[in-house]
């Protein structure tokens, strides 16, 4: 009987935790009797046959590396059936009959279409700094990203207090304000603007002017990119509050960095669960982390569903928006 094989890939935006998840998935697959492979360059590599056995020399040193050593890509060709067929033939010639994809909801939808075409089972590991995948409280990369943001804001506040200025700090997150809310709360920001909470600049202005009258000389405003208000907020602070303000867009620094202890541990949990799910015969499961427990949900329960922000986080952040 031919040996069962599994190919592991990263897809979509890079996130700290992808490398340890890929390494652990390969190691655990081998312990469960599967022959592990790595797919390089994401969906493009699946089409272009960038598929190699996950030997020890390929997994050594992955645990502490940020980003993804397997690399990733946005691949429009995968939308075309002829290229998906080419990808399937690349798997067939190696006897690969299972896939693990480490990425976001777009990557999961792509592999779900691949399953519908060729019935190759897959397990998804949520990995995106935006933390915007429905059905899971946590995605790989979020903790590392939050620590990078926290360190940046702490450093900026040192300067702000030294020269009596205000700083607007824009975080990533697409249409999800999780990074901005969590960072604003844990860095002591005075203002926060996110898509999930209606903001009131008049109320914010009144609150801040009272504090300025009481002696405040500086402030920090954390703004999620999803509200598209960073430039305006910087001008508004200058004009309405009378404090000289500067904008800092953190950008892609948020996606890099060596994964934190928490992200490494979550990589272990997700990767083991993904391989075990495939060995158990599941076809299209996405790993989840809910209320402290790792589980899984069918792709239909996750794809295209809007993530729900924790009500406590929203309640804690609301005073910073008004």
What confidence tens digit (pLDDT) does each residue in 253-297 have?
Answer: 999 999 999 999 999 999 999 999 999 999 999 999 999 999 999
Q: Mean pLDDT over residues 132-159, rounded?
A: 97
Task: Indicate if the pLDDT at residue 67 is higher than 70.
Answer: yes
**What are the residue ranges spanned by the domains of the chain?**
5-141+259-305, 143-255
Q: Which residues does 56 contact at the CB level (< 8 Å), separation at least 6?
A: none
CA 227 – CA 42 distance, rounded (Å): 30
Task: Indicate if the pLDDT at residue 249 is higher than 50.
Answer: yes
In this predicted structure, what is the pLDDT of residue 303? 82
Please, what is the Cα angle at 69 between 65 and 72, to 5 degrees? 130
Task: Indicate if the pLDDT at residue 1 is higher than 50.
Answer: no
Please, what is the Cα angle at 177 between 171 and 178, to 5 degrees? 95
- Look up 276 and say whether it is catalytic: no
In this predicted structure, what is the pLDDT of residue 215? 96
* Cβ–Cβ under 8 Å, residues 24 and 140: no
Active-site residue identified among 14, 130, 132, 143: 130
In this predicted structure, what is the pLDDT of residue 2? 55
In the structure encoding, which two tokens stand for residue 75, read together? 């691949």
Task: Indicate if the pLDDT at residue 192 is higher than 90.
Answer: yes
Task: Indicate if the pLDDT at residue 166 is higher than 80.
Answer: yes
The fourth-level CATH superfamily of domain 143-255 is Phosphofructokinase domain (3.40.50.460)
Around Cβ 310, how many Cβ atoms within 10 Å? 12
What confidence tens digit (pLDDT) does each residue in 73-126 have?
Answer: 888 899 999 999 999 999 999 999 999 999 999 999 999 999 999 999 999 999
Q: Mean pLDDT over residues 215-219, rounded?
A: 96
Strands 284-290, 5-10: pairing kind: unpaired
Q: Give the DSSP H or E segment for 235.
A: helix 230-236
Fold match between domain 5-141+259-305 and domain 143-255: yes
CATH of 5-141+259-305, one of 2.60.120.460, 3.30.70.100, 3.40.50.2300, 3.40.50.450: 3.40.50.450
In this predicted structure, what is the pLDDT of residue 306? 86
In this predicted structure, what is the pLDDT of residue 4? 93
Task: Indicate if the pLDDT at residue 72 is higher than 70.
Answer: yes
In this predicted structure, what is the pLDDT of residue 312? 96
Nearest in space to 183 (alpha carbons), one of 212, 142, 217: 142
- The chain-wide mean pLDDT, for the chain, equals 96
Q: Which residues does 135 contact at the CB level (< 8 Å), separation at least 6?
A: 286, 288, 290, 297, 301, 302, 305
In this predicted structure, what is the pLDDT of residue 74? 83
Task: Indicate if the pLDDT at residue 158 is higher than 80.
Answer: yes
């Amino acid at each position: 009987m031919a040996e069962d094989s599994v190919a592991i890939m990263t897809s979509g935006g890079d996130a700290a935790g992808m490398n340890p998840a890929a390494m652990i998935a390969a190691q655990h697959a081998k312990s469960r009797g599967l022959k592990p492979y790595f797919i390089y360059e994401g969906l493009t590599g699946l089409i272009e046959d960038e598929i190699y056995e996950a030997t020890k020399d390929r997994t050594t040193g992955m645990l502490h590396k940020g980003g993804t050593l397997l690399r990733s890509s946005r691949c429009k060709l995968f939308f075309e059936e002829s290229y998906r067929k080419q990808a399937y033939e690349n798997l067939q010639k190696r006897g690969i009959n299972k896939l693990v994809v480490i990425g976001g909801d777009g990557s999961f939808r792509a592999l779900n279409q691949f399953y519908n075409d060729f019935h190759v089972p897959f397990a998804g590991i949520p990995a995106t700094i935006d933390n915007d995948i429905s059905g899971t409280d946590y995605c790989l990369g979020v903790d590392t990203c939050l620590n990078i943001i926290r360190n940046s804001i702490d450093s900026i506040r040192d300067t702000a207090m030294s020269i009596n200025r205000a700083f607007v700090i824009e975080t990533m997150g697409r249409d999800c304000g999780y990074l901005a809310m969590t960072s604003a709360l844990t860095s002591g920001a005075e203002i926060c603007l996110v898509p999930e909470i209606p903001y009131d600049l008049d109320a914010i202005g009144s609150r801040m002017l009272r504090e300025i009258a009481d002696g405040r000389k500086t402030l920090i405003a954390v703004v999620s990119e999803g509200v598209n208000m960073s430039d305006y907020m910087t001008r508004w602070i200058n004009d309405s509050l009378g404090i000289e303000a500067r904008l800092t867009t953190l950008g892609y620094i948020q996606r890099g960095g060596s994964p934190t202890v928490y992200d490494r541990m979550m990589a272990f949990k997700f990767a083991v669960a993904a391989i075990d799910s495939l060995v158990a015969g599941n076809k299209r499961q996405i790993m989840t982390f809910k209320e402290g427990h790792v589980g899984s949900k069918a792709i239909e329960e996750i794809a295209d569903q809007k993530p729900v922000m924790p009500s406590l986080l929203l309640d804690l952040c609301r005073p910073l928006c008004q």
